[in-house]
A = this chain, B = another copy of it.
Amino acid sequence: MTITTVGLDADDTLWHNETLFRLTHKRFTELLSPHCDAATLEAKLAETERRNLRLYGYGVKGFTLSMIETAMEMTDGAVATSVIREVLAVGREMLTEPVEPLPGVDLALAQLSERYRLVLITKGDLLHQEQKLAASGLGDLFVAVEIVSEKDADTYRRVFARHGSGPEQAAMAGNSMKSDILPALAAGCWGALIPYPLVWAHEAAEAPVDHARYVELGSIADLPAWVDGVAG
């Protein structure tokens, strides 16, 4: 079995992301606490995000717009405008948050890049993802960067045909079972789940049962050895 190409998710695989979103959620619920309790607000925000996903796609800009919309709805328009200003500022802060590779990422990517073509495959706002990659210092390790609006089986077929030797000779690694693993397996790739402690509600999914090309790893540090083993 030959592996020529390794695809890597970015957010919560190479650097923190969901942690930052959770902190923002916390600040948002505090800002709105005079108007409603945290659980009700969270439920409403999740509903608004889900409804807007097909229009806004993934990323901080759409999330900021959904927070503003939720604040309006939960307070029947009576929210203080200072709260809206604060939400705008929080969104801008998320876009300028420093990016630092998660522990073990630098070494694992350096090892992998010696033997395989590395492709970054991520959802989110185009400009923001490019900026995060630049800030991470990891950009030179990738032969290609694909920022996509959706991660489905067709996405992986297309990306690994373009930048590698097809999905059968590619392995995909990431923290989201729903976006990084299941569609990659469906496309014929190998898939390595590297769990992150937090999972966004919209990314939750069940693990595959007895799938020959699937593995769950404890850390990205285990990825190079697993890919080498698969590649034989």
Contact = CB atoms under 8 A, between A and B. Distances in A.
B126 A57 contact: yes
A77 interface: yes
Contact of A65 (B61, B72, B96, B147): B61
Q: Choose among A55, A68, A69 the residue with the greatest number of B CB atoms under 10 Å from its CB.
A: A55
A120 to B, nearest CB: 15
Given A65-B64, A125-B57, A126-B125, A77 B81 contact: yes
A15 interface: no
Given A79-B81, A125-B126, A126-B126, A68 B55 contact: no
Interface of A: 52, 55-57, 61-62, 64-65, 68-69, 72, 75, 77-82, 84-85, 88, 91-92, 95-96, 125-128, 130, 147-149
A75 B84 CA distance: 13
Contacts of A92: 52, 55
A123 to B, nearest CB: 9
A31 to B, nearest CB: 14
Contact of A56 (B56, B61, B81): B61
Nearest to A75: B81
B77 A78 contact: no
A107 B11 CA distance: 42
Given A61-B62, A61-B65, A72-B85, 12 more contacts: A52-B92, A61-B61, A61-B125, A65-B88, A68-B88, A69-B85, A69-B88, A75-B81, A77-B81, A81-B81, A84-B84, A125-B126
